[in-house]
């Protein structure tokens, strides 16, 4: 099996180690492999082919991180996908809520880009189809 090196903040590594201990994983590699599998399967679990998808995405970020400007640029670059967004404050953090409509491929790509923005700590989403049933 190939060896992969991953960089992460010390606080995330501490959380990962605590999670591994609490849940009985044999080590970091096992936990990271499971996380990678989950990420890769995230948008493949449901049958979205040919369906128009509505997705509500919530991001949390540190106001001083500079993420707000990057989020705004990404939002404007995807005006055909993002139908609305709201900015709010939660303690020392900011929340950005996006409503997006499009194909599962476009939404998956947008969520992935949100996750890569420096300063964004959380990206959560709910997916709806035209029949209004919650899928994720």
**Reported pTM:** 0.68
**Three-state secondary structure of the chain:** CCCCCCCCCHHHHHHHHHHHHHHCCCCHHHHHHHHHHHHHHCCCCCCCCCCCEEEEEEEEEEHHHCHHHHHHHHHHHCCCCEEEEEEEEECCEEEEEEEEEECHHHHHHHHHHHHCCCCEEEEEEEEEECCCCECC
Q: What is the pLDDT of residues 32-52, one digit of tens each?
A: 988 888 777 766 656 666 777
In CATH terms, the fold of domain 53-129 is Alpha-Beta Plaits (3.30.70)
Average pLDDT over residues 121-125: 91
Q: What is the pLDDT of residues 55-68, one digit of tens each?
A: 999 999 988 888 99
Residue ranges covered by each domain of the chain: 10-41, 53-129
């Amino acid at each position: 099996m190939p060896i992969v090196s991953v960089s992460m903040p010390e606080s995330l590594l501490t959380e990962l180690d605590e999670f591994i201990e609490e849940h009985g994983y044999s080590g970091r590699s096992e936990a990271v492999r499971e996380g990678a599998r989950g990420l890769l399967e995230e948008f493949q679990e449901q049958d979205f082919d040919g369906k128009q998808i509505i997705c509500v995405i919530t991001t949390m970020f540190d106001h001083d991180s500079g993420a707000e400007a990057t989020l705004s640029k990404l939002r404007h670059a995807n005006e055909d996908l993002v139908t609305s967004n709201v900015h709010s404050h939660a303690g020392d953090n900011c929340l950005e809520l996006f409503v997006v409509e499009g194909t599962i491929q476009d939404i998956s790509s947008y969520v992935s880009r949100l996750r890569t923005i420096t300063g964004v700590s959380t990206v959560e989403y709910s997916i709806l189809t035209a029949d209004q049933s919650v899928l994720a």
